[in-house]
Structure 1
Amino acid sequence: MESIKQKSAALGAPATLPDFRNLGVILRLLVVVNLFALATLLVRVDEGGRLLAEAALMAGRVELPLLFIVLLLYLASPWLRAWPAQLAQAGVLALVVLAVVLSYPLIDGGSLFRHLAWALAAALLCLFYFDYRNRRYSPALAEARLQALSARIRPHFLFNSLNGVLGVIRSDPRRAERALEELADLFRVLMRENRELVPLGDEMALCERYIDLERLRLGERLAVRWDLPVSGTPEHAALMRAQVPALLLQPLLENAVYHGIEPSAESGEVRVRIERRGDELRLEVDNPVSGVARHPEGNRMALDNIRERLMLFFDLEAGLDNACSNGRYRVRIRLPYRTSPP
């Protein structure tokens, strides 16, 4: 299956403004405006000796209004994103005019009209860039959901779960019946999930069903420790409402079981730590390292897929890293803390 970023995009998505409070959006805005400034400078200056002097002069005229614009867009972003697209774009242009007018007394040289014309041209270029980027990557969100199903629920999971049910069907028919019901519920949830983000509580419930099924095969060899705030506290309730991409934790647990617990004849513990630090949500999954190599490309595929989905949902504000130390393999995820209504 192709990478999410390699999917061809039909440019038919509705125009929407980016989140100007997103670090990745702010960085792209700064880069686009400064590249536009450099391009206009190269067109205007034909003597190499004057280039540095003109660049310093232009920087003094561009950077201060640009910082004003970024600040105003950051403050106004929630309202702009709630407006219809065309009205929001007009609002952006109005904020650009306001920022240039406010910063003009602090700028050395040049007419106000020229500054306004240049700033509006740069703003239109940025709006075009973000609109194009939104249209290009909108289909990738649906593709990310499809990849989440195909890349994570690997055939061996269904095969092993059914084998676990068969192993207890004679000795404990009631348990086998409950396991089949849980398996059906698990796949029903996975197949009907079509939201971009889900509450963390739903994702954890999915993981607990998965662990229950794996215990049919592995029994006491599999132990899972959840490091969370105490249930019933406001901290726990707020954490359960945190919005995360669907199938974020389950594939990490599946990898932990498949690579860390299943190959070993001894029991092992998978640890899951979830916490909120300010406006950031942090998740950590670690498992014992087995001496038996088991298709590491499958693990890389799952991690790469999660990285791409985090990038699509949260841009540069989210990330994933993994490391192996002291006999344990650890995956850490950080993403913005967003909540669903209680």
Structure 2
Amino acid sequence: MPIIRQIMSKFAVPDMRNLGTQVRLIVISIFYGLFLPLISDSDASYWTQVYRTASWGAPTLLLIMLTGYVFSQYATKLDKVYGVITAQLVILVLFVLVDYGLLGERLNFWTHFWQINMLSLGLMHMESSRQQALEPALVEARLTALTARIRPHFLFNSLNAAISLIRLRPYYAETLLENLANLFRAQLKDGSQSSTLGQEIEWAQEYMAIEQVRMGPTRVQVMWHHNAPDDAETPHLLLQPLLENAVFHGIESTHRPGCIVVETSMKHNWLYIMIENPFVPPDSDENVKPHKGNSMALRNLKERLMLMYDNDAVAKTEQTDSVFRVRIRLPYRKKESALDNLFGR
């Protein structure tokens, strides 16, 4: 078994729900179909051979992509070794159904059989190499995100606010400390774990409650428009660093009250998140605490989205004279709970 695992570590099953994976598969398959006739000893013309390859390769590829898209969420639950073996067996079964059963190929069946094996194993080897190449960047991104999550001034000011409230308003002090403890407990989790949108909203509301106690509810206002499924899978601690940026740069830098808007929605299996906060230019007379533009949270966010979703996720910023806005688009994936796995649902 260790030898098998060592061999299988060179292969990985790609996520067929990912748009980047689908594009790579199609491009490589086209190149493969155009290259094969060049090394063939057939007497037929080049384009005739390309057509023959496409006649069985295209329907096989389409069926493989559709099957992979439907069953990709189940493949991720398998052990890596069994996942690769299962994927290869499924590919071969689909190939036989198309080439032997549907098209009735008899003469060149074994030639096509070895060609589809070479293509599938080559693609899984490329996916394994791509994942291994991303591992150092992923570890660095997790460490960077972990060290940049909480600003020290926020922690100290929150604790000072709690101390000042203990005698006058003990209930508010207790609530502040509970929210602060929950927030730190969430942030000490492994950054590689995914979360749900509902959990992210809850953590974000606890964070904003702390800021409203610390700075006053009239100065820090927030509007929530949550119209997306709570079970949508999201990166761990997606919203809190962005809201901390919004408070730090949009409200704390001035003496004026400000309103932060958080909107979530879903459309056509895409999850949309928008965070909007007031914006005061650093050189403005109203900016009494000019803070340098801190793009670390946004840069970390974009890097995490690229590592987790490839090209499927998008994070954009918009800036006007009075508003700074962050827009995020994620593919909707339902996050399965531990109870679902426990009872096999």
TM category (shorter chain) comes to: 0.7 to 0.9
| 2:115 aligns with one of 113, 118, 121 | 118
* Residue equivalent to 2:343: none
Larger displacement relative to structure 2 (189-198 or 126-135): 189-198
The partner residue of 1:185 within 176, 182, 188 is: 182
SS in 2 for 1:338: coil
CA shift in 2, pair 1:223/1:58, >3 Å: farther
Residue aligned with 2:16, SS: coil
Alignment-derived partner of residue 263 in structure 2: 273
1:20 to 7, 16, 19: 16
Query: Which of 298, 301, 305 is residue 300 of structure 2 equivalent to?
Result: 305
Whole-Å separation in 2 of the counterparts to 1:94 and 1:126: 17
Aligned pairs, number:
311
For structure 1, the residue ranges without an aligned partner over 5 or more in a row are 1-10, 46-52, 230-235
Do the aligned partners of residues 65 and 310 (structure 1) sit closer, same or farther apart at CA in structure 2, a change above 3 Å counting?
Answer: farther
Structure 1 position 145, deviation (Å): 4.0
CA distance in 1 between counterparts of 2:98 and 2:148 reads: 47
Q: CA deviation at 1:241?
A: 1.5
Q: Match for residue 337 of structure 1?
A: 332
Matched residues in 2 for 1:217 and 1:74: separation? 52
Q: Which runs of 5+ in 2 are unaligned?
A: 1-6, 283-289, 338-345
Q: Structure 1 residue 149: deviation in Å? A: 2.0
Instruction: Give yes or no for contact 2:11–2:127 (8 Å, CA) kept in 1.
Output: no
Contact 1:323–1:331 (8 Å) recurs in 2:
yes
Summarize the alignment of residues 98-177 of structure 1 with structure 2, pairs less than 5 Å apart: 98-101=97-100, 111-137=108-134, 144-169=141-166, 171-177=168-174
Residue 148 of structure 1 aligns to a residue in which SS?
helix
Compute the displacement of 1:98 (Å): 4.2
Structure-1 residue corresponding to 2:204: 207
Deviation at 1:105, TM superposition (A): 7.8
Q: Give the CA deviation at 1:22.
A: 2.1
Which residue matches 1:253? 243
For 1:121, give the aligned amino acid: M
- How far residue 256 of structure 1 moved from its aligned partner, in angstroms, is 0.8
How many Å apart are 1:130 and its aligned residue? 1.6
Query: Residue 280 of structure 2: SS of its match in structure 1?
Result: coil
Q: Against the structure 1 CA distance between its residues 184 and 221, is the aligned structure 2 distance closer, same or farther, given a 3 Å change threshold?
A: same
Determine the structure 2 residue equivalent to 1:315: 310
What CA distance in whole angstroms lies between the structure 1 residues aligned with 2:54 and 2:316? 34
Displacement of 1:221: 0.9
Instruction: Provide the rounded CA distance (Å) in 2 between the counterparts of 1:288 and 1:104.
Output: 63
Q: Pick the aligned partner of 1:223 from 199, 207, 221.
A: 221
Does 2:79 correspond to 1:74? Answer: no
Instruction: Kindly indicate whether residue 281 of structure 2 is the aligned counterpart of residue 291 of structure 1.
Output: yes
Please give the alpha-carbon distance, in whole angstroms, between the structure 2 residues aligned to 1:24 and 1:341.
Answer: 24
Distance 1:12 1:164, change over 3 A: farther
C-alpha distance in structure 2 between counterparts of 1:262 and 1:71, whole Å: 54
Match of 1:7 in 2: none
How far apart, CA to CA, are the structure 2 residues paired with 1:58 and 1:158?
68
Structure 1 CA distance for aligned equivalents of residues 32 and 171 of structure 2: 69
Work out which of the residue numbers 192, 198, 202 in structure 1 matches 2:195. Answer: 198
Give the counterpart letter for 1:175 in structure 2: Y
Cα distance in 2, alignment partners of residues 304 and 64 from structure 1: 45
Contact kept? 1:144, 1:309, Cα under 8 Å: yes
Deviation at 1:127, TM superposition (A): 1.9
Q: Which 10-residue stretch deviates more, 250-259 or 210-219?
A: 210-219
SS of match in other structure, 1:274 = strand
Shift of residue 226 of structure 1?
Answer: 0.4
Cα distance in structure 2, aligned partners of 1:208 and 1:144: 25
The answer to whether the Cα contact below 8 Å between 1:275 and 1:282 also exists between their aligned partners in 2 is: yes
Q: What is the distance in 1 between the residues matched to 2:175 and 2:8?
A: 46
> Greater share of helix residues, 1 or 2?
1
Q: Secondary structure at the match of 1:152?
A: coil
Q: What are the Cα deviations for residues 130-185 of structure 1, in whole angstroms up to 9, with x where unaligned?
A: 23223444576565444332222233332332343345455434433432232122
Structure 1 window deviating more from structure 2 (18-27 vs 218-227): it is 18-27
Residue 252 of structure 1 deviates from its aligned partner by 1.1
- CA gap of 1:70–1:213, structure 2 versus 1, over 3 A, is same
Displacement of 1:44 in angstroms is 7.6
With over 3 angstroms needed to count, the CA separation of the structure-2 counterparts of 1:12 and 1:128, relative to structure 1, is closer
TM-score normalised by the chain length of structure 1: 0.77
SS at match of 2:311: helix
Asked which structure has the greater RCO (Cα within 8 Å, sep 6+), the reply is: 1
Q: Does the Cα contact within 8 Å between 2:37 and 2:50 map onto a contact in 1?
A: no
Residue type at the aligned position of 1:31: V
In the alignment, which residue of structure 1 is the partner of 2:340?
none
Equivalent position of 1:34 in the other structure = 30
Alpha-carbon distance between aligned partners in 1 of 2:223 and 2:202, rounded to the nearest angstrom: 14
Equivalent-residue separation in structure 2 for 1:133 and 1:94 (angstroms): 26
C-alpha contact (below 8 Å) 1:89/1:127 kept by paired residues: no
Residues 209 and 30 (structure 1 numbering): CA distance in 2 closer, same or farther, change over 3 Å?
Answer: same
- The answer to whether the Cα contact below 8 Å between 1:22 and 1:315 also exists between their aligned partners in 2 is yes
